[in-house]
Amino acid sequence: MLLRPASPRTTLTLSDRDAQPPRQLRRNDDLKKELEKELERLGELQNLLYADRRHALLVVLQGRDASGKGNVIRRVFGACNPLGVHVSSFKAPTEEELLHDFLWRVHEVIPSRGMIGIFDRSHYEDVLVVRVRRLAPPHVWQPRFRQINDFERMLTENGVVVLKFFLHVSKKEQREQLLERLHDPTKNWKFRPGDLDDRELWSEYTRAYRDAIRKCSTPWAPWYVVPSDHRTSRDYMITKIINEKLSSLHLRYPRAEPKVLALEAELKE
Ligand code: ATP
């Protein structure tokens, strides 16, 4: 296995070195081709998931600014039929959302059976940005680790498969990506003046991510820390983990009713 799920006992340094791909991928000249194969397989498995209708797949993507969440959505899930995929982006909560518990807006967009739901940021922001920027006191965000674990457990007991990926980029790579965004007129419209503020809180975010990943990587909803300085290996690892999980579900196409099968003979006549 290329990447093991995190566990409460994992030592998570989240150092710049950890953002480099594993050696066996770095040395693999055929990685692009292998990624293409995995993507094709993902397309097939998604079709099966959709037809089978017994499970949903929830993919949580977390990462610092410019860590590539958008790229993963485009490149990996671009292999799927858009009909079976739903992307939800989580921004700062609205006034109404703040009047509810923090999982209210999340529960509403959990994928239904047959669907793949992708979270671009997620309920984890409620133990990350909320903690780092002190948007709520510790007695509010600390119990959320347990609440998240309970919530995710309930989801998995109800047919939702949960996979969580932290796209880990180095500080240097983030700088390069941010500079590219600022330089490129097709991308710089996305930038807002405060967008560099989180970079100054790098080590505070590291601490918050470490806690969130260790406390909430559970047997039912594992966290994977994906080295993300190199795009092909990042996409390859994510696609492979999803494919392995979907394959383990033994998905199958439902059998057509005898009446439908009889239609073939009728049409041939
Ligand atoms: P990028 O593509 O660089 O990741 P983005 O498009 O995801 O950017 P924004 O459009 O700036 O990011 O919106 C997301 C912002 O909303 C983030 O700063 C995030 O921390 C914030 N946010 C998300 N959920 C919450 C929350 N529960 N409480 C406070 N802020 C939140």
Least Cα distance to 156 among 110, 87, 90, 118 occurs for 110
Can you state the angle between helices 144-157 and 202-216, rounded to 10 degrees?
A: 50
CA of 241 to the centre of ligand 1 (A): 26
Q: Which two tokens mark 41? A: 């397989």
Q: What pLDDT is attached to residue 265?
A: 87
Q: Is the pLDDT of residue 58 over 80?
A: yes
| 201 φ, ψ (degrees, to nearest 5) | -100, 30
Mean pLDDT of 239-264: 95
Ramachandran region, residue 215 (left: φ > 0; alpha: ψ -120 to 50; beta: rest): alpha
Mean pLDDT of 132-158: 98
* pTM greater than 0.75 (yes/no): yes
Least Cα distance to 112 among 69, 152, 151, 161 occurs for 161
- Whose Cα sits closest to atom 20 in ligand 1? 129
Q: Is the pLDDT of residue 66 over 90?
A: yes
Confidence category of residue 130, pLDDT binned at 50, 70, 90? very high
Q: What pLDDT is attached to residue 55?
A: 98
Q: Which atom of ligand 1 is nearest to the CA of 133?
A: 29
CA of 70 to the centre of ligand 1 (A): 13
Measuring from each residue's beta carbon to the nearest atom of ligand 1, which residues come in under 6 Å? 65-66, 69-70, 90-93, 121, 125-126, 129-130, 135
List pLDDT tens digits, range 150-172: 999 999 999 999 999 999 999 99
Q: Which two tokens mark 176? A: 């390069």
Q: What pLDDT is attached to residue 128?
A: 98
| 56 φ, ψ (degrees, to nearest 5) | -115, 160
Q: What pLDDT is attached to residue 36?
A: 98
List pLDDT tens digits, range 3-12: 999 998 888 9
Cα 136 off chain centre by: 25
CA of 101 to the centre of ligand 1 (A): 18
Q: What pLDDT is attached to residue 91?
A: 97
List pLDDT tens digits, range 199-218: 999 999 999 999 999 999 99
Q: What pLDDT is attached to residue 203?
A: 96
The SS3 of residue 129 is: helix
Q: Which residues pair with 117 in a beta bridge?
A: 58, 86
Contacts for 115 with CB less than 8 Å, ≥ 6 apart: 49, 50, 56, 57, 84, 85, 86
CA of 114 to the centre of ligand 1 (A): 28
- Whose Cα sits closest to atom 1 in ligand 1? 65
Mean pLDDT over the full length of the chain? 96
Q: Is the pLDDT of residue 61 over 80?
A: yes
List pLDDT tens digits, range 13-32: 999 999 999 998 988 889 99
Q: Give 208-211's long-range contacts (Cβ < 8 A, gap of 24+).
A: 208/127, 208/128, 208/131, 208/132, 209/12, 209/14, 209/62, 209/128, 209/166, 210/12, 210/14, 211/127, 211/145
The SS3 of residue 151 is: helix
Q: Which two tokens mark 4? A: 């093991």
The percent of residues in the chain predicted with pLDDT above 70, rounded, is 100
CA of 269 to the centre of ligand 1 (A): 60
Greatest extent of the chain over all pairs of C-alpha atoms, in Å: 73
Confidence category of residue 192, pLDDT binned at 50, 70, 90? confident
How is residue 204 annotated by DSSP?
H
- The preferred substitution site among 89, 129, 147, 200 for testing ligand 1, maximizing ligand atoms within 8 Å of CB, is 129
List pLDDT tens digits, range 248-260: 999 999 998 999 9
Mean pLDDT of 128-132: 98
More confident site: 195 or 47: 47
Contacts for 5 with CB less than 8 Å, ≥ 6 apart: 217, 222, 223, 224
